[in-house]
Chain A
Amino acid sequence: MNGPKPGWRDWIAAVWAEAHAVPPGLPRLAWRAGGIWMFAREILRPRRVAKATVFAAAAAAAAWAAWPAPEVGHAAVSQFGVIVTVVLLAGLPLLARRFLGPAGPSRAGRALRVFCFAAILALIPARILVEVFADFGPRPTGYLRINNAFNSAGVHGASSGGAPWPGEAAILLIIAVYVAAFLWLTSRRARLSRATLSAGAGTGLLLGLVMYAVAPLGLGLDATNPWLPGSDVDPLVALAWLLLVGGPVAAAVLAVRACRDAAGSVPPAATRFRQGVAAGVLANLTGALFVTALGTSTTALTLTSASLRQWLYHGDRLSALALYHREQLASVSTEVYVVMCVAFPLVGLFMSLLAAGFATHPPEEIPAETGVTS
C-alpha cells in the first residue's frame, strides 16, 4: 500500500538533500539550480501568476471606475459594495479550490469561469453608476434646475431616503450565489461533462442575447423607446419566452443524450439525470448573468456617454428634461435584472428537472404493468 503522497515541501527538501550525494562543485550547483527551476516552474506556476495579475488589474480598474466620490449620496454603501464584490471574486475561488477541488479539465468549464468573472467585474462600475444615478429620484421642485444644469457633467446632490443597505446586501448575496454556482458547476468535483457545460452555456448565451435585444435598458418601454417599440406580441419577446422556458429543456435533453462515461458506454440514470439538471440550471444562470451585465453596462454607458444618448434617444428632438426622464426610467428599470437573476435559475431548475426526468426515463423505458387484463 502506498504511503501519503509527498507535498511540495517534501519535494524541495528531497532535491536539496540529494545534492549531498552529487559531486561537489559545478555538478552540485547545477543540481540545486535544477531544484530552484523546478520550484519556479511547478510551484509558482507562471500561468497562475499571470492569471492572478490579470484579475488584480481588472478588479482594480473596475473598482477605480466604480468608486463613488464622497459627496455622492450613500457613497459608503456603494464603496462597501465594490469592496465586497472584489473580495468575493478573489476569495471564493480559493475556498472552492479547497472544498470543491480545482477547475474541471474541460475548456468549456474554464471559459465559463472567465465569463462569470468578466461579467461580474463589468457589473461593478456599471451597477454603481446606475444606482447612484437612480438614487437621485426626480424631485418635482428640482426639475427646472436639472433641466438647466443637465448638460454639465454629472448630477450630484443628496439623495432622498435612508441608506439602501438591505438592497445592497441582497445584491451582494446574489453575486455570491452566482460566483459560487459557477465555481461549483465548473469544478472537478461536480464531474460535469464537456457536453453538459457546452449545452448549458450555449443555450444560456443565446437566451442572454435575445433578452438583451428585448430589454437593453431594463423592461421599461418608455426607457427603451424608440430603440425597440416592444410589445407582448413582438416576435423577439416570444422568442425570449420560448428560450427562457424551452432553453433549459433543450440543454437538459442534450446533456442527458450526450452523457457517456470514460469507456464510452451509457452511465446510470442518476448520473444522466444530474447532468441534465445541471445543464438546464446553467443555461438560465448564464442567460441571466449575460443579460444583466450587458443591460446594466448599456444603461451605465447611456448615462456617461452623451453621443450614445443622442443616438439612442434621438436627443436632438428631446428636451433635456425629457432626456433626463428617460435616463431616470432606464436607471430604475435595471432593477428588473435583479428579478431575472433570481427568477431565471429557478425556472431553469424546474424545467430541467422535468426535462431530465423525462429524457432519462422516456415513456417506452418505463416498464408496463403486467398481469392486468381488461
Chain B
Amino acid sequence: MTSRPEFSAQTLSVLAALCDQPSGWQHGYALAKQTGLKSGTLYPILIRLCDRGLVEARWQDEPQPGRPRRHRYRLTSAGLASAAQALGGAAERAAELAAAKAARKVRAGTRPAPRGAVAGSTP
C-alpha cells in the first residue's frame, strides 16, 4: 500500500518553481507564471509552506519608484531538502503510473483468455 503523498500537485509545482533558483528570491507573480496558478491558490500554498518553515519570505529592500515593496520567497534549507525528496518521490510515482498505464494498454490490446482457462495450461 502506498502512503499518501505529503504535498498536493499544486504545492509540488510551487516547490519545483522555487527549486529552479534555490538560492535566489522570487516574486509571487513570477511563481504564478511558472506554475500557472492563480493568486487565490498560490498564496495559500505559500502561507502554509512558510508556516511549516519550508519557505522564507522577505520584503523587497528597495522598491521600484512609485511602486509598493514586493514580497519575495525562497526555499529554506529544510524546504530544499523536503522539496528534493518530494519531487523525487513524485517523479518515481509518475514513472510508476506511466508504467502501469502502459501495461494496462498492452493488456487491453491482447485477446482475453477463454473462460475456464487455467493459468499455465497453455503451451
A22 CA to B27 CA, complexed, in Å:
11
How distant is B51 from chain A, measured CB to nearest CB, in Å?
A: 7
Check B68 against A16 for contact (C-beta < 8 Å).
Answer: yes
Check B44 against A41 for contact (C-beta < 8 Å).
Answer: yes
- Bin chain A's interface residue count: 20 to 34
Question: A18 touches which one: B28, B41, B58, B76 (CB < 8 A)?
Answer: B28
A38 on the interface (CB 8 Å rule)? yes
Check A17 against B50 for contact (C-beta < 8 Å).
Answer: no
How distant is A45 from chain B, measured CB to nearest CB, in Å?
A: 12
Which of B39, B41, B56, B57 gathers most chain A CB within 10 Å? B39
Check A13 against B68 for contact (C-beta < 8 Å).
Answer: yes
A359 CA to B41 CA, complexed, in Å:
49
Q: Which residues from B are CB-within-8-Å of A18?
A: 27-29, 39, 70-71
Q: Which residues from A are CB-within-8-Å of B43?
A: 11, 14-15, 34-35, 38
A-B contact count (CB 8 A): 72
Check A21 against B39 for contact (C-beta < 8 Å).
Answer: no
How distant is B14 from chain A, measured CB to nearest CB, in Å?
A: 14
How distant is A48 from chain B, measured CB to nearest CB, in Å?
A: 16
How distant is A49 from chain B, measured CB to nearest CB, in Å?
A: 18
How distant is B123 from chain A, measured CB to nearest CB, in Å?
A: 51
Q: Which residues from A are CB-within-8-Å of B44?
A: 38, 41-42
Question: B39 touches which one: A3, A6, A38 (CB < 8 A)?
Answer: A38
Contacts A18-B27, A18-B29, A35-B43 known; A3 to B58 CB distance under 8 Å?
yes
Check B50 against A5 for contact (C-beta < 8 Å).
Answer: yes
A14 CA to B29 CA, complexed, in Å:
10
Check A14 against B71 for contact (C-beta < 8 Å).
Answer: yes
Contacts A2-B76, A34-B38, A35-B40 known; A11 to B68 CB distance under 8 Å?
no
A10 on the interface (CB 8 Å rule)? yes
Q: How does the 8 Å CB contact mask read for B35-48 relative to A, with 1 for contact and 0 for none? A: 00011111110010
Closest to B56 in A: A2
19 contacts between A and B (CB under 8 A): A2-B53, A2-B56, A5-B51, A11-B43, A13-B71, A14-B28, A14-B43, A15-B43, A16-B68, A17-B67, A17-B68, A18-B28, A18-B71, A20-B67, A20-B68, A34-B39, A37-B40, A38-B39, A38-B40
